[in-house]
Amino acid sequence: MSDSLFADASKRLEKALKYVSISEDAIARLKYPKASLTVSIPVRMDDGSLQIFQGYRVRYDNTRGPAKGGVRYHPKVSLDEVQSLAFWMTFKCAVLDLPFGGGKGGITLNPKELSKLELERLSRGYIDAIADFIGPDVDILAPDVYTNSMIMGWMMDQYCIIRRHISLAVVTGKPLSIGGSVGREEATATGAFFVIESIMPKFKRLPNETTVAVQGFGNAGAVLAELLSQAGYKVVAISDSQGGIYAKKGLNIPSIRQYKASSKGIKAVYCEGSVCNIVEHEVLTNQELLALDVDILIPAALENQITEENVYDVKAKYIFEVANGPITSAADNILAARGIYVVPDILVNAGGVTVSYFEWLQNRSGLYWKLEEVNQRLKAKMVEETERIWSISQELDISMRTAAYVHALNRLGESLDAGGTRDYYINSI
């Protein structure tokens, strides 16, 4: 267990406990997940064969409200990973002061190997298996790695079929036509952009003087790269699972997104209408991207990308974690010793769950907001909590990551202690 992702994630909690005054009862409860479920999902494939897929759902904590968390489809999904993600989600919701606990789910597979019909059968089968474990007041699902609004729509529909009533709020990140919220698809990137815009002025960094590399050109990474480019930052490198590209003069992100949408690949291109011209660029690996001499590095792919093995290659001055857990705890300590400033995932990528909360509210009220209102509410939340965590880090002279956990622990501890503590019962005898 010592080399598990969850064991490594828990080390961040231990460091923050030195700076908070919460009960031993609360600490004990936060060290273990509330409930874990492992299921087998039989799926009839297009060729008539039957395949069995392994699925998971973890509710880590629900003290502050129903569990909330995404569902990812990936070959490396495991119970250890899902439990770690649910742990992070618990603290993420507390950081943003959302009325949710932390949950997460996943299925072990390579979704690129399945047809759309097979993916639909798999998604509905997953809900068949976990329907008694979830609900709009129990545990709410959302998209994550290799899941999207259509898959969320299938899951919501299947839950409604099982329950025999409409329950839009059981899933967030749905298509707009069946209860989704405007701004949800871009929310992780938009929230991260607000954090970056709040932090960089504190170091007197101007956008047009700041270079950026983004590892991961999926939904969050691609949208964030474009937002930063529009704001004047020089995005010089991006990558996806196949590798990346680098151009010292900067990349035209909209044209690259257009090219990827049509070809499923990445290339430095400039597109006007349907005509695309190749721009001079270097091809590089994901590891080479992490080692680029840039001002800002944005890991927006998967966990454990920066480890003890490659941490000394990192040259960026600032790291904003858009992925969950992209830096191991050991590498984190080395980065801090080297003076590299890291802004943690439980703050940076919290825009997704925040707008999921907005969608849940809209589903339950039947009142839907315009994009401007969603983004205004999101910005207010992200900026407010960024400023609070910055103040804690400065006051206690600790890293932004430890400050974020301190901030979350104070809120979680208060909620956990509201049910009674050892001291309460001893003093009442």
Q: Enumerate the active-site residues.
A: 104
- Other Cβ atoms within 10 Å of 296 Cβ, number: 24
Cβ-proximal residues to 27 (8 Å cutoff; 6+ apart), any chain: 17
Q: What is the DSSP string of 162-212?
A: HHTS--GGGB-S--GGGT--TTSTTHHHHHHHHHHHHHGGGGT--GGG-EE
Distance of alpha carbon 181 from alpha carbon 169, whole angstroms: 11
Q: Which residue has the tokens 């964030």?
A: 224
Structure tokens at 264: 């499923």
Enumerate helices (H) and strands (E) in the chain, giving the number of each.
Answer: 15, 14
Q: Report the Cα–Cα distance between both ends of the chain, in Å, rounded.
A: 40
Structure tokens at 292: 């680029």
Q: What is the DSSP string of 2-21?
A: TTSHHHHHHHHHHHHGGG--
Distance of alpha carbon 247 from alpha carbon 219, whole angstroms: 21
